[in-house]
Amino acid sequence: MEKGTVELQVWHQKFLRYLACEGSPPAPGRISSRDPLHDKSSSHSPSSGASQSWFAIGIALIFSSFLKSPDKLNSETQIPLPAVNMPREAEISTNEKQFLKTALTENVRIDGRLFEQYRPLSLGFGEEFGVAEVELGKTRILAKVSAEVTVPYADRPFDGIFQIVTELSPMVSPAFEVNRPTETEVLLSRLLEKTVRRSGALDTESLCLMAGKKCWAVRVDVHVLSHDGNLVDAACVAVVAALRHFRKPDTSVEGEMVTVYTAAEREPTPLSWLHSPYCVTWSFYGEEGEMALLDASWKEEQVQVASFTVSLNRHGEVCQIAKLGGVAVDAVLLLKCTAGATVEVKRISEMVDQKLEEDAKRRDKGGLMAELRAENERES
């Protein structure tokens, strides 16, 4: 036991050194492990000596994957492998977990942030309308809005169709496969659905063109480009920003005829937007979940005992709350977290508004008249 603590202290110091160098610790990368031995080696090798560095572990991992080529395993010796053929994320090692937890009890987060501090959040828009990219630390999310005219659902003749589609591709992590929704994906899409769609942020009635016959179908595709924790908050900002940035073609209805105008004919119109909800996620640590962290990174998420996502808009309306299990957390702490979230949401909300404004200014150089004049010049 004592040896373990000594080891841990050495590690701790090492980490602090890394922190001082302003770099994130060169952790054993999240390697797709097709065989269970990886996990064993990653948890065992550090115990072989405190001098062993992270790099060595990484090499050991790669090495062991050479030794055990999958072809060899699949030959006639049918060893009952626990992992059938499902790639998964390498788990965080026991030592690293312990380190994270111990550091937290000393009020230190591994990336040096305060407990209630977000990672830097940046938002950018594409050339097209309705494309937004959000970076939250190393988490990157792209949201793209598209719209087309279709037939409304028979049971909702006066509403347009609005759907949010999330995709976690193998690009993010080998644990995600196309067409096989993982738990993470289901929860992410449900949270976005509840936050944005169910809370009525988009006025779906305004998407109706002709009752029961024609309506707009607005679809948001959320692509996760890289996953370093807190997908929900980042994805929510991306979805809301993309929807507010989006312009759908203008239409006119005459009798039974619906005309959709191109951008050249008529200026595209923004969606009828009612309020902007944002998610704020807290992670809990400690035996009874008494420590609350804002915006956990991927590694911190692996150690959390519970998480709590609350969606609010700047008017102080809760749109959704989700604490889906985990360790029981004191109700008062949850209320405190909600109060903290309202502050955070105001900040995010201002940031998004400002970015949208900047983008609008950038596009609208010299105003509408200048644009028209430029077009005429080209034609003549």
Partner 1 sequence: MLAPAKPINCPLASCLAWSACPTKKFTNCSDSELSLFRLPPSAPVTTPSTDTINRFDLYLRATSVLDSVFSHSPARNVAMPLDTSTYSMALLRVDGRRWNELRRLHAQIRTQSASDGSSYLEMGHTKVLCVVTGPTEKLASQRMASSSSSSLLDVNISIAGFSSVDRKRPSRTDKRVSEMAFTVQQSLNKAVHAAIFPNSTISISLTVLSQDGSLLASLFNAATLALVDAGIPMSDYVTACTSGSTSSYAAADDAADPLLDLNRQEEQELPFLTVATLGGSDRVCALVCESRVQVSRLEGMLAVGVDGCKQVRTLLDRVIRERGAKMIEEGAIARGDVVGAGDEMDTEED
For the record, the structure tokens of 193 come out as 């659905």
Which class for 255: exposed (0-12), middle (13-18), buried (19 or more C-beta within 10 A)? exposed
Which lies closer to partner 1 via its Cβ, residue 332 or residue 369?
A: 332
Q: Which of 6, 10, 62, 81 binds partner 1 (CB under 8 A)?
A: 81
As measured in angstroms, the least distance from the Cβ of 179 to partner 1 is 12
Q: Which of 255, 316, 366, 367 binds partner 1 (CB under 8 A)?
A: 316
Which lies closer to partner 1 via its Cβ, residue 226 or residue 342?
A: 342
- b/e code 118-129 from CB counts within 10 Å (16+ = b): bbebebebeeeb
As measured in angstroms, the least distance from the Cβ of 305 to partner 1 is 8
Which class for 226: exposed (0-12), middle (13-18), buried (19 or more C-beta within 10 A)? middle
Which lies closer to partner 1 via its Cβ, residue 130 or residue 195?
A: 195
For the record, the structure tokens of 366 come out as 């010299």
> Which positions from 326 to 345 touch partner 1 by CB under 8 A, shown as an x/- string?
xxxxxxx-xx--xx--x---
Task: Find out whether 92 and 302 touch, Cβ atoms under 8 Å.
Answer: yes
For the record, the structure tokens of 62 come out as 């790669």
Q: Does 371 bind partner 1 (CB under 8 A)?
A: no
Which lies closer to partner 1 via its Cβ, residue 324 or residue 360?
A: 324
Name the one range near partner 1 by CB under 8 A: 54-62, 103-111, 139-147, 313-321.
Answer: 313-321
Q: Which residues pair with 61 in a beta bridge?
A: none
Contacts with 188 (C-beta within 8 Å, 6 or more apart), sequence order: 166, 168, 222, 231, 232, 235
Terminal CA-CA length for the chain? 84
Which lies closer to partner 1 via its Cβ, residue 139 or residue 309?
A: 309
Q: Does 79 bind partner 1 (CB under 8 A)?
A: no
Task: Find out whether 258 and 210 touch, Cβ atoms under 8 Å.
Answer: yes
Q: Does 308 bind partner 1 (CB under 8 A)?
A: yes
Q: Does 31 bind partner 1 (CB under 8 A)?
A: no
Q: Which of 61, 108, 187, 209 binds partner 1 (CB under 8 A)?
A: 187
Task: Report the half-sphere exposure of 237 (CA within 13 A, side-chain side).
Answer: 30
Distance of alpha carbon 131 from alpha carbon 144, whole angstroms = 4
Q: Does 94 bind partner 1 (CB under 8 A)?
A: no
As measured in angstroms, the least distance from the Cβ of 294 to partner 1 is 17
If one counts every other C-beta atom within 10 angstroms of the C-beta of residue 183, the result is 7
Q: Does 106 bind partner 1 (CB under 8 A)?
A: no
As measured in angstroms, the least distance from the Cβ of 279 to partner 1 is 13
As measured in angstroms, the least distance from the Cβ of 157 to partner 1 is 9
Task: Find out whether 244 and 273 touch, Cβ atoms under 8 Å.
Answer: yes
Q: Does 161 bind partner 1 (CB under 8 A)?
A: no
As measured in angstroms, the least distance from the Cβ of 130 to partner 1 is 24
Residue-level length of the chain: 380
Q: Does 155 bind partner 1 (CB under 8 A)?
A: yes
Q: Which residues bind partner 1 (CB under 8 A)?
A: 80-84, 86, 88-89, 154-156, 175, 182-184, 186-187, 189-190, 193-194, 198-200, 212, 288, 305-306, 308, 312, 316-332, 334-335, 338-339, 342
